[in-house]
Amino acid sequence: MSSRSEVTGVPILNLRENPAPSESGGTQPRETAYSTSSEHNSTGRPSASDLKKKIWIGPPKLTRFERARVVGARALQIAMGAPILIEPPKGVWNPIDIALRELESGVLPITIRRTLPDGVTYQDIPLRWLL
């Protein structure tokens, strides 16, 4: 099989260390495509000391998609009988409205996981950092 996909004809990129023929006829491992500098650990992510309140994946605010996912998940929890973390105003019994108010008040103990397109690198961000 060649280095092109048989179905699409697109070159296949492999980030694993593949042996490459050397000039002496033997094989030596190629370098990997991700950064291995001293500021990153072996997985290519910043070290724990660099992650203190630093968002390095995505925008510094909660996206509309993340907001919808958090509110929907929390509303489902409330509808299934989870305790409400705030005092709801009089007349508000809709789980979605309660979940929105909990999100706006910043009391939800939820962490957002943002993943890079490589599917391996991610960052867990507390919801408080994004509000």
The tokens of 2 are what?
Answer: 């060649």
Name all domains of the chain by residue range, CATH numbers in brackets: 54-130 (3.90.940.10)
Mean predicted confidence (pLDDT) in 15-26:
45
* pTM of the predicted structure, to 2 decimals: 0.59
Q: What does the CA dihedral 50, 51, 53, 56 come to, rounded to 10 degrees?
A: 100
The tokens of 44 are what?
Answer: 């290519």
The alpha carbon of 14 is separated from its chain's Cα centroid by a whole number of angstroms, namely: 22
Q: Are 71 and 103 a contacting pair, CB within 8 Å? A: yes
- Rounded to 5°, angle at Cα 131 from 67 and 40: 95
- Beta pairing partners, 125: 112
For position 47, what pLDDT does the model report?
59
pLDDT tens, residue by residue, 106-124 = 999 999 999 999 999 999 9
